[in-house]
Amino acid sequence: MSSKPKSAEDAKKQAKLLREKLKSEGMEISHSKALELVAQQHGYRDWNTLFASFGNRAAREWQVGDRTSGLYLAQPFKAEIIAVSRLTDGRYKLTFQFDEPRRRDHLRGHEQLAQTHHPDCRTRRDDTGEDL
């Protein structure tokens, strides 16, 4: 079993490649059969189960230079993403460069923050800075 595709589109591309490879070896299968095989290869019962696992949101690919905003420690912020690392479990570690020092961190001199994010944009960090 390999790691889950990033999106339904990636899984469909895998199915297309599988179908082409099998055809080149003299075995033709339908596209729906290829989708089922891809789902099973990734540990899912069937294509519908794999497809449902992606949810209704498009996968978010964070990139250096992206702009973001939100709340951190109940304070609004705007920042630029200056580093991105994709973790093995599908989460991302992002490092932000804040446009303005946040009031609470100003005394400590923090102008950057690293956080871990799920692809659906939820964070996994508490107020102490520890991953949950």
Distance CA 113, CA 123 (A): 13
What's residue 116's pLDDT? 59
Residues in the chain with pLDDT < 50?
105-109, 124-132
CB 41 within 8 A of CB 10: no
**pTM of the entire structure?**
0.45
pLDDT tens readout for residues 76-100: 888 898 998 877 766 778 888 888 7
Asked if 53 and 35 count as a contact pair (C-beta separation under 8 A), the reply is no
pLDDT at 36: 95
H-helix or E-strand spanning residue 132: none
Angle between helices 8-24 and 31-41 (to 10 degrees): 110
